[in-house]
């Protein structure tokens, strides 16, 4: 299991801070996090209501995220480099 994917799964459904490779961080609440053999996918919402999706194909593949655009499409955000339980 991918370490970051496992961390997202373990923190769900509590809020978490997700950090991307570009250094950007967003606070999310994950509504769904599932493993399918080695693959992982999750859906989350930020504090401002923006929807996010995360995927990974397995241990050697990074967890990457995308956010929903206003037109209904998805904009890649990048590789997830860290996940931490949000301080409440």
pLDDT of residue 38: 86
pLDDT of residue 1: 60
Q: From first to last of its 88 residues, what are the pLDDT tens digits of the chain? A: 689 999 999 999 999 999 999 999 999 999 999 999 889 999 999 999 999 999 999 777 899 999 999 998 999 999 999 999 998 6
pLDDT of residue 60: 78
Domain count, the chain: 1
Sequential DSSP letters for 12-71? TTS-EEEEETTS-EEEEEEEEEEEETTEEEEEEEETTS-EEEEEE-STTS--EEEEE-TT
pTM attached to this predicted model: 0.91
- Residue 20 maps to which CATH number? 2.30.30
Range of the domain at 73: 3-85
């Amino acid at each position: 299991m991918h370490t970051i994917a496992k961390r997202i799964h373990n923190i769900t459904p509590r809020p978490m801070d997700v950090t991307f490779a570009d250094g950007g961080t967003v606070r999310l609440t994950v509504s769904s996090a599932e493993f399918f053999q080695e693959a992982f996918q999750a859906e989350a919402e930020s504090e401002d209501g923006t929807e996010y999706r995360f995927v990974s194909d397995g241990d050697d593949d990074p967890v990457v995220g995308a956010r929903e655009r206003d037109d209904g499409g998805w904009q890649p955000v990048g590789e997830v480099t860290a996940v931490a339980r949000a301080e409440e």
